[in-house]
């Protein structure tokens, strides 16, 4: 049975790391590459290197210097959609319908700043509001003819105890606070999304996709968090055949602080 391989990566500037992106593609050969934090307006996105590698279908939603998401695909698109959340035009979502009918959503959820209190931290309030809007949107998707759906992205939340290097020490740190985890769980439940990583990596095992730049030797300290996710609708999750974190990309000079994640599905 043919398979589709989908990769997700917060690249932290696509122009700065375009050569790393090419290396990643040549090594892992995904059919679809979803990027976050591209940090470039649409007409300056470096399309040519991707087109040269066979990614002729591009859905780009960017802005200058901040945020930005993109879907690069060897599979043609039937439709492209870009949604704004919280009344902000901050380029945090793009979606496509792939030829064959799979609907793919790429998200970059707000990081939330440093203080986990929405009363004094506008960035954290924005993050919670963004998650609430995601939940409301997904709750309206139920129906008899719902398509196969994928959600990927930097969701900026590590929900499980073993998604962080120390559950106890990070309970009051933005990305692992109980209020964020509760919100993300509601988002996931709104459409019965299945967490593909944890289908293959038991919740009892540590699993990270992000490591701070502050550590000189990120592997030795291994103070990571799982901020990057691939979710599937229940029907598509049954077709999942593999999941991996491309940790070696974090070893490169001037890397992103996120490592790409890759999942494969029967189609």
Contact 81, 96 (CB under 8 A): yes
Residue range(s) defining the domain that contains residue 88: 3-266
User: What mean pLDDT comes out for the span 58-71?
Assistant: 97
User: What mean pLDDT comes out for the span 97-108?
Assistant: 96
pLDDT the model gives residue 215: 87
User: How many degrees, rounded to 5, is the angle at CA 134 between CA 130 and CA 137?
Assistant: 135
- Per-residue pLDDT tens digits for 14-48: 999 999 999 999 999 999 999 999 999 999 999 99
- Two tokens at 166? 């120390």
Q: What is the mean pLDDT of the chain?
A: 97
pLDDT the model gives residue 172: 98
Report the Cα 216 to chain-centroid distance in Å: 25
Which residue carries 């933005």 as its tokens? 174
Would the pLDDT of 168 be above 70? yes
- Per-residue pLDDT tens digits for 209-258: 999 999 889 999 999 999 999 999 999 999 999 999 999 999 999 999 99
Would the pLDDT of 1 be above 80? no
Q: How confident is the model at residue 49 (pLDDT cuts 50, 70, 90)?
A: very high
User: What mean pLDDT comes out for the span 58-85?
Assistant: 97
Q: How confident is the model at residue 64 (pLDDT cuts 50, 70, 90)?
A: very high
User: What mean pLDDT comes out for the span 51-61?
Assistant: 98
User: What mean pLDDT comes out for the span 103-120?
Assistant: 98
CA distance 96 to 78: 7
Which residue carries 């990057």 as its tokens? 228
The count of structural domains within the chain is 1
Would the pLDDT of 144 be above 80? no
User: How many degrees, rounded to 5, is the angle at CA 73 between CA 71 and CA 77?
Assistant: 85
- Per-residue pLDDT tens digits for 192-214: 999 999 999 999 999 999 999 99
pLDDT the model gives residue 161: 98
Contact 226, 164 (CB under 8 A): yes
pLDDT the model gives residue 145: 76
pLDDT the model gives residue 170: 98
Q: What is the CATH number of the domain that holds 192?
A: 3.60.10.10
HEC string of the chain equals CCEEEEEEEECCCCCCCHHHHHHHHHHHCCCEEEEECCCCCHHHCCHHHHHHCCCCEEEEECCCCCCCEEEEECCCEEEEECCCECCECCCCEEEEEECCCCEEEEEECCCCCCCCCCCCCHHHHHHHHHHHHHHHHHHCCCCCCCCCEEEEEECCCCCCHHHECCHHHHCCCCCCCHHHHHHHHHHHHHCCCEECHHHHCCCCCCCCCEECCCCCCHHHHCCEECCEEEEECHHHHCCEEEEEECHHHHHCCCCCCECCEEEEEEC
Q: What is the pTM of this model?
A: 0.97
Q: How confident is the model at residue 143 (pLDDT cuts 50, 70, 90)?
A: confident
Task: Report the b/e string of 188-204 with b at 16+ CB within 10 A.
Answer: bebbebbbbbbbebeee
């Amino acid at each position: 049975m043919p398979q589709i391989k989908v990769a997700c990566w917060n690249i932290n500037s696509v122009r700065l790391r375009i050569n790393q992106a090419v290396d990643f593609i040549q090594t892992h050969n995904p059919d679809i590459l979803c990027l976050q934090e591209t940090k470039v307006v649409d007409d300056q996105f470096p399309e040519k290197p991707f087109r040269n590698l066979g990614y002729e279908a591009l859905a780009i939603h960017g802005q200058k210097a901040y945020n930005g998401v993109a879907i690069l695909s060897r599979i043609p698109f039937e439709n492209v959609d870009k949604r704004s959340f919280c009344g902000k035009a901050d380029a945090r979502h793009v979606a496509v319908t792939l030829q064959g009918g799979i609907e793919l959503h790429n998200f970059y959820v707000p990081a939330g700043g440093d203080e986990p209190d929405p009363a004094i931290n506008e960035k954290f309030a924005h993050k919670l509001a963004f998650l609430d809007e995601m939940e409301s949107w997904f709750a309206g998707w139920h129906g008899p003819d719902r398509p196969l759906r994928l959600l990927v992205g930097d969701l900026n939340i590590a929900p499980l105890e073993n998604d962080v290097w120390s559950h106890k020490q990070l309970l009051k740190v933005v990305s692992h606070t109980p209020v964020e985890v509760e919100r993300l769980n509601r988002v996931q439940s709104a459409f019965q999304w299945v967490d593909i990583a944890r289908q293959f990596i038991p919740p009892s095992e540590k699993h990270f996709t992000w490591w701070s730049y502050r550590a000189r030797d990120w592997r030795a300290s291994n103070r990571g968090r799982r901020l990057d996710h691939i979710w599937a609708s229940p029907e598509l999750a049954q077709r999942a055949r593999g999941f991996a974190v491309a940790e070696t990309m974090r070893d490169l000079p001037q890397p992103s602080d996120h490592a790409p994640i890759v999942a494969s599905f029967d189609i």
